[in-house]
Amino acid sequence: MPVEKKLFIHDNIGFIELLETFGDDLTVVNAARVSFHKESSELSQRDIGLINYLADHDHVTPFFHPIVRFRIKMPIFIVREWYRHTIGFARNEVSRRYVTDEPNIFVPDKLRMSDKNVKQGSKEEAVEHNDIYLEEMKLYCKQALAYYNQLLENGICPEQARMILPQSMYTEFIETASLAGYARLVKLRVDKTAQREIQTYARFIDHFLRKQFPASWAALIKEQDDEYSSRSMDHRDGKKPQHDQTVL
């Protein structure tokens, strides 16, 4: 079977694509064993025990040696949260100072009710008249795009025309980080207090890295395994992901 490299969110626009990886579980093991001038050639149960020991006792430096590179497309309002993770991350993003093609806009499939009991976050329930609000949201986005194109057609420079584009506009970037960096990101962004939309992307990262670094990833995020197993990668009301949302 082909190895899946790309996962889409519900609108089939936003995605995370695995570009390449450096290292494996043995990379972590040998980074730790070099202290004793030793090296493993094949991953053994003893090595897996060492990986778990390192994670359990917060010896994180060996987990910085494996490196992962993704291409990611997500709305700007999510990117601004995603970019708060900086240690061990490098990113290069599409710039609308240079690019003037038609941008994609994210529109959710449900507008959730605010929760007066928390400072941030939302309830699971959709607001009353959800469909009406969604149609109005789409209309405003279309108007913003139309005016953006009008500005460009009238000679306004792209770096200023972009100012009127909404925060729901998609952007795309290449991101490279260590296994340790992604473990911290995922643990924070799949938490129930994280915004629902960012949880979806964090679960995609989890999905890829569980397969690429099975022993190390399990050790790094083991305290959340029960939560992961009860959640879907798709954020739509707990429904399981549709097959047509995954590109193989």
Show which of 148, 164, 180 is a domain's final residue: 164
Same domain, 62 and 178: yes
H helix intervals, the chain: 25-33, 45-56, 76-82, 130-153, 158-161, 179-189, 196-212, 214-220, 225-229
> Do 160 and 43 lie in a common domain?
no
Give the residue numbers annotated as catalytic, written as ranges: 189
pLDDT one-digit tens code per residue, 150-175: 999 999 999 999 999 999 999 999 99
* The token pair that represents 210 in the structure block: 């569980």
Counting Cβ atoms within 10 Å, is residue 202 exposed (0-12), middle (13-18) or buried (19+)? buried
Indicate whether 203 and 141 sit together in one domain. Answer: no
Distance CA 232, CA 57 (A): 30
Question: What range defines the domain where residue 128 resides?
Answer: 112-164
Same domain membership, residue 90 and residue 10: yes
Q: Which 3 state secondary structure label does DSSP give 19?
A: strand
Give the chain's domain count: 2
Each residue's pLDDT tens digit, 207-231: 999 999 999 999 999 865 555 444 4
25 and 137 share one domain: no
Q: Based on the domain organization, do 177 and 195 belong to the same domain?
A: yes
> Mapped to the 3 state alphabet, what secondary structure does 56-75 carry?
HCCCCHHHHCCEEEEEEEEE
Residue stretches of the chain with pLDDT short of 70: 1-3, 118-119, 223-248
Q: What is the pLDDT of residue 3?
A: 61
